[in-house]
């Protein structure tokens, strides 16, 4: 164990189960694993090993609650039965502590008689362990409101249990590696910790690479490495040396919540729905403001982040610290809107206008921040705003998930306006119309439409409109809403034609599609986003960006009570008069004037397409060099080189397709 002078709480876990453990040798291995994720918990580390049982558990801590040594991990339960490494926060831990004290006073167990004074400290980790002893692991987890990933060893049954929160805010990778006596079951918050173990086989999964090119992330349960999986959200995994095949139990299902919510729709008035949502969000924000360290919030000036900040400020005795980054390019700058909201709410606002060079300087860090390939280009501004906030606070709340829960994405509006009409036409007729749209190449359409820009409606005066029309054609030809959704969220439409020896694995979008009974087309798209895009893209982006600077990010909209309530609300309370998030907007308008929010939805991005033709051109050319691609052997060079040439010429905008390849290439260079 480490000395008490090194102690502090959470943020990164790692360990393994193996039949062959030697104390000194395996302590060094465990130390290497936890050191690899030091950024997740820079304050301290802890190790716990039982060579006879074959288990090693490590922890890195970022102190948020109870900064004393009583929060040190791995932590052993009061009876000595359980040992846990825990990453996250249990927001209702004080309520659970009260429940447990009532149980413990009347219990005849080894914990009987413990009183308020008997607790060792004030951490949620200790409460979690006590709950395991009183109610069992699954029943305790079901009582928790929070974000978490944990590994707990049961000394009594010699069983290892891994757990992950309902929505997938905190990451957890696992898998068997090595053969024979060297076989070890590895687990960790990030892949970089697994790689530090000597039995780890860094064999790249080309099938997962195909999925990456389609989605710009690798969907759960897959990872970039063969034999390594992500534990899916809302799941518990158990195994032992006696029963090495993992058993996975889903204790909470987002798809079941969506179906149940739609089946038992909210029957109150719109005003009552707004009242109920305000109360629920206020409670969620209040719980997530609990911390023994400085706390703030990200503020873009949009509906979601403004709502979170407004509810924070309404419950704070001092100005809330808010953070925004801005860009000088108008199409990418939300800082002016955030400033207006911050001024109205009277927050302590900090903004940083980022130069193109500052943004470009982040790119070399990305392969280290993201332990597997990840190419959502908003990863750059997300890291920059996290970096800005970390200069002043240790915890920051964000407005993520508002779009998925309250119908905010443009693709939902597309479905409501166009798909509802086009889907009534026969597929054959729509296919003919689609062929008409694609009769001209995108570059020909771009030139033609550019020449008549002044005659077009303002909404259609866009660069690369020909590319967008070709995308619209593929949507028009979709056989059903599932095909429509897959088309809208895909980058490379046929990634197996680009990856040598690769074949797409089945996902929730391509074969394991959930039934989602009772949901209309828009609700179905929202549910698919909640099941896929939210946990595997948005939450990964936020977690890695924040952890990269040792900042804890919290997401009030992901309080599972808010999620479950949102799904009971009828669509008319979310999408009204062509505008999404109606009910959420009504909550916000009680704190912020509507006029401050009246503007088109703006993505949180950077001008990657322009940069690839400018300051990033040489960097990209080196990574996309044909000889290099052939030598590395993962991609067929021809389709990539063709898109690169078309992008450089300006005839097509292939920024997303190229960024996918570039992020894999950069990751490969840094990790192999």
* Cα–Cα distance, 40 to 17 (Å, whole number): 22
Average of pLDDT values for 633-645? 98
The answer to whether residue 270 scores a pLDDT higher than 90 is: yes
The answer to whether residue 457 scores a pLDDT higher than 60 is: no
Residue pair 389/338 in contact by the 8 Å Cβ criterion? no
Instruction: Band the pLDDT of 303: cuts 50, 70, 90.
Output: very high
Q: What is the pLDDT of residues 225-259, one digit of tens each?
A: 999 999 999 999 999 999 999 999 999 999 999 99
Whether 4-252 and 255-407+523-596 share one fold: the answer is no
- State the pLDDT at residue 418: 74
The answer to whether residue 576 scores a pLDDT higher than 80 is: yes
* Cα–Cα distance, 311 to 397 (Å, whole number): 11
- State the pLDDT at residue 122: 76
Q: What is the pLDDT of residues 123-145, one digit of tens each?
A: 899 999 999 999 999 999 999 99
Q: Tokens 């927050």 appear where? A: 347
- State the pLDDT at residue 343: 97
Residue, of 511 and 99, whose pLDDT is higher: 99
- Out of 103-107, 125-129, 254-258, 312-316, pick the least confident: 103-107
Q: Name the 3-class secondary structure at 83.
A: strand
- State the pLDDT at residue 123: 86
The answer to whether residue 628 scores a pLDDT higher than 70 is: yes
- State the pLDDT at residue 653: 87
The fold of the 255-407+523-596 domain, in CATH, is Rossmann fold (3.40.50)
Average of pLDDT values for 19-24? 89
Residues contacting residue 254 through CB under 8 Å, at least 6 positions apart? 166, 167, 233, 234, 527, 530, 531, 563
Pairing verdict, β 82-90 and 184-188: unpaired
The answer to whether residue 539 scores a pLDDT higher than 50 is: yes
- Out of 263-277, 299-313, 326-340, 397-411, pick the least confident: 326-340
Burial 479-506 (b: 16+ CB within 10 A, else e): eebbebbbbbbbbbeebbebbeebebbe
Element (H, E) at 643: helix 637-649
Residue, of 221 and 291, whose pLDDT is higher: 221
Burial 451-477 (b: 16+ CB within 10 A, else e): eeeeeeeeeeeebbbbbbbbebbbbbb
Q: What is the pLDDT of residues 596-605, one digit of tens each?
A: 987 766 566 7
Is 103 designated active site? no
Q: Calculate ∠ Cα 155-158-160, nearest 5°.
A: 100
CATH assignment of 4-252, given 3.40.1160.10, 3.30.70.260, 3.60.20.10, 3.40.630.30? Answer: 3.60.20.10
Average of pLDDT values for 450-479? 60
- State the pLDDT at residue 20: 85
- State the pLDDT at residue 425: 76
Domain residues of the chain, as ranges?
4-252, 255-407+523-596, 607-672
- Out of 91-100, 156-165, 332-341, pick the least confident: 332-341
Residue, of 82 and 511, whose pLDDT is higher: 82
Q: What is the pLDDT of residues 394-435, one digit of tens each?
A: 999 999 999 999 999 988 887 777 777 777 778 777 777 777
Q: Give the residue among 309, 375, 321 at the shortest CA–CA distance from 348.
A: 321
- State the pLDDT at residue 239: 98
- State the pLDDT at residue 524: 95
- State the pLDDT at residue 265: 92
Among 5-19, 370-384, 410-424, 508-522, the range of highest mean pLDDT: 370-384
The answer to whether residue 69 scores a pLDDT higher than 80 is: no
- State the pLDDT at residue 499: 98
The gap from C-alpha 534 to its chain's centroid, in whole angstroms, comes to 6
DSSP strand E in 240-347: where?
247-250, 295-298, 321-327
Residue pair 326/607 in contact by the 8 Å Cβ criterion? no
Average of pLDDT values for 315-334? 85
Percent residues over pLDDT 90 in the chain: 71
- State the pLDDT at residue 446: 61
Rounded mean pLDDT of the chain? 89
> Cβ–Cβ contacts within 10 Å for residue 40, how many?
31
Q: Calculate ∠ Cα 144-145-150, nearest 5°.
A: 60
The answer to whether residue 116 scores a pLDDT higher than 60 is: no
Instruction: Band the pLDDT of 467: cuts 50, 70, 90.
Output: low
Average of pLDDT values for 648-661? 93
Helices (H), 107-150: 124-135, 137-143
Average of pLDDT values for 460-470? 57
Q: Which of 11, 262, 371, 407 is catalytic?
A: 11
The answer to whether residue 329 scores a pLDDT higher than 60 is: yes
């Amino acid at each position: 164990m480490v000395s008490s002078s090194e102690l502090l709480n959470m943020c990164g876990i790692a360990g393994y189960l193996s039949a062959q453990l030697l104390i000194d040798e395996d302590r060094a291995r465990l130390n290497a694993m936890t050191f690899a994720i030091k950024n997740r918990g820079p304050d301290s580390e802890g190790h716990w090993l039982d060579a006879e049982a074959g288990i090693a558990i490590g922890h890195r801590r970022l102190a948020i609650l109870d900064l004393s040594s009583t929060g040190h991990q791995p932590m052993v339960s009061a009876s000595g039965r359980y040992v846990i490494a825990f990453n996250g926060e249990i927001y209702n831990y004080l309520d659970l502590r009260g429940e447990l004290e009532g149980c413990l006073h009347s219990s005849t167990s080894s914990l009987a008689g413990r009183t308020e004074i008997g607790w060792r400290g004030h951490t949620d980790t200790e409460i979690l362990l006590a709950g395991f002893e009183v109610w069992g692991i699954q029943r305790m987890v079901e009582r928790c409101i929070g974000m978490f990933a944990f590994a707990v060893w049961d000394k009594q049954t010699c069983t290892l249990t891994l757990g992950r929160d309902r929505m997938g805010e905190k990451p957890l990778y696992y898998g068997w590696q090595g053969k024979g006596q060297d076989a070890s079951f590895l687990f960790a918050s990030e892949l970089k910790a697994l790689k530090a173990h000597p039995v780890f086989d860094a064999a790249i999964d080309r099938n997962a690479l195909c999925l990456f090119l389609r989605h710009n992330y690798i969907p759960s349960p897959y990872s970039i490495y063969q034999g390594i999986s992500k534990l899916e959200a809302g799941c518990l995994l158990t195994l032992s040396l006696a029963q090495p095949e993992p058993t996975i139990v889903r204790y909470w299902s987002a798809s079941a919540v969506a179906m149940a919510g739609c089946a038992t729709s909210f029957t109150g008035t719109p005003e009552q729905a707004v009242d109920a949502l305000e109360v629920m969000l206020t409670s969620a924000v209040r719980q997530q403001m609990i911390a023994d360290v400085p706390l703030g919030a990200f503020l873009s000036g949009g509906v979601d982040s403004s709502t979170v900040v407004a509810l924070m400020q309404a419950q704070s005795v001092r100005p809330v610290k808010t953070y925004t980054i801005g860009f000088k390019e108008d199409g990418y700058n939300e800082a002016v809107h955030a400033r207006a909201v911050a001024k109205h709410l009277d927050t302590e606002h900090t903004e940083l206008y980022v130069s193109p060079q500052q943004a470009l300087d982040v790119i070399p860090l990305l392969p280290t921040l993201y332990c597997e390939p990840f190419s959502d280009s908003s990863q750059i501004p997300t890291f920059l705003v996290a970096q800005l906030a970390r200069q002043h606070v240790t915890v920051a709340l964000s407005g993520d998930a508002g779009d998925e829960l309250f119908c905010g994405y443009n693709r939902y509006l597309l479905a409501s306006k166009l798909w509802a009409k086009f889907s009534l036409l026969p597929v054959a007729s729509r296919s003919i119309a689609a062929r008409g749209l694609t009769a001209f190449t995108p570059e020909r359409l771009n030139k033609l439409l550019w020449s008549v820009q002044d005659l077009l409606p303002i909404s259609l005066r866009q660069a690369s409109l020909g590319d967008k029309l070709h995308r619209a054609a593929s949507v028009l030809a979709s056989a059903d809403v599932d095909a429509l959704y897959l088309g809208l969220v895909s980058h490379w439409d046929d990634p197996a034609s680009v990856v040598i020896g690769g074949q797409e694995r089945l996902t929730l979008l391509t074969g394991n599609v959930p039934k989602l009974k009772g949901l209309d087309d828009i609700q179905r798209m929202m549910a698919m986003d909640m099941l896929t895009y939210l946990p595997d893209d948005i939450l990964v982006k936020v977690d890695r960006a924040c952890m990269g600077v040792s900042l804890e990010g919290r997401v009030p909209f992901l309080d599972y009570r808010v999620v479950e309530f949102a799904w009971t609300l009828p669509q008319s309370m979310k999408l009204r008069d062509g505008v999404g998030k109606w009910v959420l907007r009504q909550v916000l308008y009680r704190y912020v004037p509507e006029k401050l929010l009246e503007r088109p939805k703006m993505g949180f991005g950077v001008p990657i397409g322009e940069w690839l033709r400018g300051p990033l051109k040489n960097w990209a050319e080196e990574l996309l060099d044909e000889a290099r691609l052939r030598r590395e052997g993962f991609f067929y060079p021809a389709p990539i080189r063709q898109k690169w040439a078309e992008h450089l010429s300006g005839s097509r905008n292939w920024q997303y397709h190229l960024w996918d390849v570039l992020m894999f290439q950069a990751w490969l260079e840094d990790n192999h």
